[in-house]
Structure 1
Amino acid sequence: MQRHLLFATTLYALPVLRPLAETIHASGGEAAWFVASELAPYMKEGEQVLRHAREVRRFAPSAVYSASNWVPHFFPGVKVQVFHGFNVEKRESTRGHFRIRGLFDLYCTQGPATTESFQQLAREHGHFKVVETGWPKLDPLFSGDSATGSDLHPHDGRVVCMYAATFTESLSSARALFGEIGRQIARGDRYWLLTLHPKSDPELVRMYRSLEGPNARYLEAVDLVSMMRAADVLVSDTSSAVSEFIVQGKPVVTFRNRAPRPHMIDIQTADQLEAALQTALNPPDALIDEIQRYALHIHPARDGRSGERILAATDAFARGELGPLAPKPLNVWRKLKGRLRYLGWTEGSLSD
């Protein structure tokens, strides 16, 4: 039986890795988790959680799958990057999605939009491989399980609007749209599903939670996929939720997106939201075409089997079928920071 370790440092990593865990179990493998201490309350019954490096060594995973920007270099197994979101151009490429940290052996990319860039980086650096697999977080969107998100629909059949904002203050729409979203919720002709990034200002979260009632519900990031499946339209900003949502072929309204594209309905002021929603709910053919074109560019897989392809790619890497690697950079400072972060999550030490 193959053993696999799922590594998560933030709440939004859980819905990325849980579908992969299900795929591991379905394949006859064993999955365990190593998570940041603050995620402990969000772990489900039956999920095996390892708390120390010594437990990881005893578990002896063949691979470690990370939905974070880093992974402990001292854990055994192939280090696999599965990403915590799409590239939404929040930062320059050298600081954002395409930053190479010298910690991973294999990058499992989501679609052509990321595959081509990472393949070029793999040729330049030589110390990792790239395989386009699709993204496990989206597997439930295409799994055919009609129950996913069904409990989030209002019983009266109203249109469902989803709101999700990024936590980057300069890019977030949360403060600017709060008043207008509150008015729309009070009006009651549509039902709203609300969420904010786990790193958002707690006072801002409190504000949005206060909107809950018969016309709205606030949910955590772990429920994001169910929300996306239930919603008819998304309101957001420069959040990776925009790309995740649009893969379904559904319209998105963005507020001052950093890099607006034809598949978005981008607005500049809160009072433009209502007109944008009306367009989104009755989209012209040109908008539908742009949505489909972009969706295929970032995530062409529609079979709900990305997790299976990730496991297959990892096995191929472990067997040496993807070719040799150049030595990784020493990364002394980055490795030291990783050890200190690990110690902050555990009571023991690396010598345990």
Structure 2
Amino acid sequence: MNYLTATKNKKYLMYISQNYSYAILRPLQAQILAHGGEVRWFLAGNEVDSKFLTTDEQRLNTIKNVKNWAPDITFIPGNIVPSFIPGKKVAVFHGFNSEKRSSEGNRGHFTIRGCYDLYCTQGPNTTERFKELAKQHGFFKVTETGWSTLDPLFSETLNNPYVSNDPRPTLLICSTFSRKLSLAPKLYEQIKQFSEQGKWRILMQFHPKMPTEWVAKYKALSNENLTFIETDNVLPLLQAADVMLCDTSSVLLMFLLLRKPVVTFCNQKPQPHLLDITDAEEVENAITHALSKPADLMKSIESYCQELHPYTDGQSSKRVLNATNEFLQNDEKLKPKPLNIVRNFKMRKELNYWGW
């Protein structure tokens, strides 16, 4: 059933704590506004920068302002949200299940922290597990919608600043911030060499938590062959590149969804849809091989994408909004969420809020 018309005159809060959350929630914001709803933003903590808000995006500066505005729904692309934030809490995820820590298995992505009323999942390989957890816990619902942040990925992009007439293949290098998992400290000499030889046009983008020393070292490599980019929206970079070099960062999964090959360095869980290598001396040959798009690799990528995120219509935001409105309108009868006394106390302290 279509619940999009129920958006009109409802209030939707975007609760964010990282700069990358802007790009995750803006496609959803566009759908809310197009269907007559209201949107406000709340920026929690000191790791999210208000400079990324556009002039027509309205911010609520305090918890008191949030409570006075009284949103019907609060969307969260992070792991936690305090219970004193009003509205039904909807998890829309800040990334895919990249399984960075092999020792954790699926626990990291599927940890239930007792914060959410509804999970809007990205594809079959996460939906099934979350639905099992919903039956087990009883205090949240799960609906598969696809991931709102990817809607622009599947649409025509005009005026993409990273698309070039340069005839060379474009290599996108991305990395996570953990020293143990990051390729940045391990492949510096190889990437420096690539920037000097000019075989490829190189774009580089790191996780926002990457240590500043490594950001500075790679920025220093910038020349006509390598461009280091700091951005809150990685999607144009993904669209502009032909191949990616990565480690375990979940951004590689978004790149795969464009049916483009990824070379990984010491991935924690190498699988057939990745070209994983563990020897720094093999990086160049692996990238060259990936650019040839070998048939077996491309078949594995397609199979994996169908499980990860089968939606390529650019309509996931509509599905998230529809599922959210359905949940709100049907007034789902669920068990009470856990009190989370310790976590909520910590968040009250962090946000300096002691009211009700």
CA distance in 2, matches of 1:24, 1:233: 34
1:128 aligns with 2:136: no
2:315 equivalent in structure 1? 305
1:56/1:93 CA distance change after superposition, 3 Å: farther
Aligned length: 344
2:260 equivalent in structure 1? 250
2:17 equivalent in structure 1? 9
CA distance in 2, matches of 1:23, 1:33: 15
2:118 equivalent in structure 1? 106
1:139 equivalent in structure 2? 151
1:23/1:212 CA distance change after superposition, 3 Å: farther
1:192 aligns with 2:171: no
CA distance in 2, matches of 1:156, 1:205: 25
1:100/1:94 CA distance change after superposition, 3 Å: farther
CA distance in 2, matches of 1:288, 1:279: 12
1:232 aligns with 2:234: no
Q: Residues 3 and 60 of structure 1 are in contact (CA less than 8 Å); yes or no, is this contact kept in structure 2?
A: yes
Query: What is the 5 A alignment of 1:258-297?
Result: 258-297=268-307
2:344 equivalent in structure 1? 335
Tell me by how many angstroms 1:94 deviates: 6.7
1:20 to 20, 28, 50: 28
Query: What is the 5 A alignment of 1:64-213?
Result: 64-91=74-101, 92-93=104-105, 95-143=107-155, 145-147=156-158, 150-213=160-223
Q: Which amino acid aligns with 1:17?
A: L
Query: What is the 5 A alignment of 1:210-221?
Result: 210-221=220-231
Answer with 36-45 or 128-137: which moved more: 36-45
Tell me by how many angstroms 1:221 deviates: 4.3
Give the root-mean-square deviation of aligned CA atoms: 1.5
Q: Which amino acid aligns with 1:13?
A: S
1:84/1:221 CA distance change after superposition, 3 Å: farther
Q: Residues 50 and 56 of structure 1 are in contact (CA less than 8 Å); yes or no, is this contact kept in structure 2?
A: yes
Answer with 281-290 or 29-38: which moved more: 29-38
Q: Which amino acid aligns with 2:134?
A: A
Tell me by how many angstroms 1:189 deviates: 2.3
Tell me by how many angstroms 1:44 deviates: 2.2
Tell me by how many angstroms 1:93 deviates: 4.7
Q: Residues 171 and 241 of structure 2 are in contact (CA less than 8 Å); yes or no, is this contact kept in structure 1?
A: yes
Q: Which amino acid aligns with 2:339?
A: L
Tell me by how many angstroms 1:280 deviates: 0.7
Q: C-alpha offsets along residues 36-64 of structure 1, whole Å, 9 cap, x if unaligned? A: 34422222222111110111122221100
CA distance in 2, matches of 1:53, 1:275: 53
CA distance in 2, matches of 1:223, 1:127: 33
2:38 equivalent in structure 1? 30
1:45 to 55, 76, 82: 55
Tell me by how many angstroms 1:29 deviates: 1.4
Tell me by how many angstroms 1:350 deviates: 4.0
5+ residue gaps, structure 2, are 1-8
1:262/1:30 CA distance change after superposition, 3 Å: same
For residue 94 of structure 2, give the secondary structure of its aligned residue in structure 1: coil
Q: C-alpha offsets along residues 114-154 of structure 1, whole Å, 9 cap, x if unaligned? A: 100100000000000000000011110112x3226x32023
Q: C-alpha offsets along residues 220-257 of structure 1, whole Å, 9 cap, x if unaligned? A: 24131110011111110011011111011100000000
Q: Which amino acid aligns with 1:298?
A: L
Q: Residues 153 and 160 of structure 1 are in contact (CA less than 8 Å); yes or no, is this contact kept in structure 2?
A: no
Q: C-alpha offsets along residues 45-97 of structure 1, whole Å, 9 cap, x if unaligned? A: 22111110111122221100001101121111110000001001123157510
CA distance in 2, matches of 1:175, 1:17: 32
For residue 232 of structure 2, give the secondary structure of its aligned residue in structure 1: helix
For residue 46 of structure 1, give the secondary structure of its aligned residue in structure 2: coil
Q: Residues 196 and 221 of structure 1 are in contact (CA less than 8 Å); yes or no, is this contact kept in structure 2?
A: no
Q: Which amino acid aligns with 1:340?
A: K
> Identity over aligned residues, as a percent?
42
CA distance in 1, matches of 2:79, 2:230: 21
1:325 equivalent in structure 2? 334
Could you state the TM-score of these two structures normalised by the residue count of structure 2? 0.93
CA distance in 2, matches of 1:221, 1:119: 34
5+ residue gaps, structure 1, are 344-348
CA distance in 2, matches of 1:179, 1:45: 42
Q: C-alpha offsets along residues 138-181 of structure 1, whole Å, 9 cap, x if unaligned? A: 110112x3226x32023323211101101121111111112111
**Where does structure 1 differ by over 4 angstroms across 4 or more consecutive aligned residues?**
none
Q: Which amino acid aligns with 1:339?
A: R
For residue 54 of structure 2, give the secondary structure of its aligned residue in structure 1: coil
